[in-house]
Amino acid sequence: MISKLDFSILNNGATQNKAFVMLHGWKGNKNSFSSIAKMLDIPNCRWYFPEAPFTVEGAPDKKTWTYEKSPGDWEIKKPQSMLLDFFNNEVFSVFDSKDTYVMGFSQGAAVCYRLILNLECTLGGVFPVGGFIRKFPNQKDSETKISISSFQRNTPILIGHGKDDDIVPVKASEMAYNLLKEECTNVNLHLYNGRHKISLDYLRKVRQLILDKEVVVS
């Protein structure tokens, strides 16, 4: 039996016709980004804040989506299974995948690149911020690749990164952008002033993308 992810929910509006899933970064938890929901203020939206399943050593309230089991061997299968279960049974059981948006910050963005973009259903949008592409075991830098499901080839992908990020270098998002351009046409990169954070400028672009998409659909 698959273990269940812990998560919190925040509703905006009396009724909700879309979902927004926020994947926190290393040392975050389900309470890390509730402020993002308030800043974006997307009408009629249900926010999901899943919490990574592994605890950072010595910090019980800080979580991680993976850990190194042995040198170079990272745990990825269990969190992937738990996230797939979360999306299928908690999110997609209520909302159409096309009305579901996913943002991932830092390690959460790495989850977007490796898992979310490979979901076999069309999403409303994917927003990796301050992230990086996690390499497969024994993969050399020159062999770095990114894969994307055929279902996501027309999904809007907006990558964000602070120009002065001192935790994850901006070149990590630039590389992801260049690799994704080879796989799809609906990807954009927005660089903003600041370090390892999510800027208001980037959030405005995300909000406008969602609102514009709703106008087109309606």
Q: Could you report the per-residue pLDDT of 141-153, keeping only the tens digit for each? A: 444 678 899 999 9
Does 143 reside within a domain? yes
How does residue 72 score in pLDDT terms, banded at 50, 70 and 90?
confident
Backbone angles phi, psi at 115, to 5 degrees: -120, -55
168 Rama class: left (phi>0) / alpha (psi -120 to 50) / beta: beta
Does 133 reside within a domain? yes
Q: Tell me the pairing of strands 157-162 and 187-192.
A: parallel
Does 19 reside within a domain? yes
Nearest-angstrom CA–CA distance, 30 and 48: 9
Tens-place pLDDT, residues 41-53: 999 999 999 999 9
Nearest-angstrom CA–CA distance, 83 and 53: 10
Q: Are 159 and 187 contacting, i.e. CB atoms less than 8 angstroms apart? A: yes
Close Cβ partners of 36 (under 8 Å, ≥ 6 residues apart):
22, 103, 198, 203
Does 168 reside within a domain? yes
pLDDT at residue number 216 = 60
Across 54-63, 101-110, 137-146, 179-188, the highest mean pLDDT is recorded for 101-110
Q: CB-side exposure of 36: number of CA atoms within 13 Å?
A: 28
pLDDT surpasses 50 at 218? no
Does 170 reside within a domain? yes
**What whole-number percentage of the chain has pLDDT above 90?**
78
Comparing 28-32, 132-136, 165-169, 203-207, which segment has the lowest mean pLDDT? 132-136
Q: Are 50 and 83 contacting, i.e. CB atoms less than 8 angstroms apart? A: yes
pLDDT at residue number 147 = 84
Does 110 reside within a domain? yes
* Across 77-104, average pLDDT: 96
pLDDT at residue number 115 = 95
pLDDT surpasses 50 at 74? yes
- Domain span at residue 120? 7-217
Does 2 reside within a domain? no
Q: What average pLDDT does the structure give for the chain?
A: 91
Q: Tell me the pairing of strands 68-70 and 73-74.
A: antiparallel
* Range 166-172 contact pairs with CB under 8 angstroms and sequence separation of 24 or more: 166/195, 166/196, 167/106, 167/130, 167/195, 167/196, 168/106, 168/130, 168/131, 168/132, 168/196, 172/131, 172/132, 172/133
Nearest-angstrom CA–CA distance, 123 and 138: 31
* Across 53-62, average pLDDT: 91
pLDDT surpasses 70 at 63? yes
CATH code, domain with 159: 3.40.50.1820
Does 1 reside within a domain? no
For the chain, what is the domain count? 1
Number of Cβ atoms within 10 Å of the Cβ of 80: 16
* Across 82-104, average pLDDT: 97
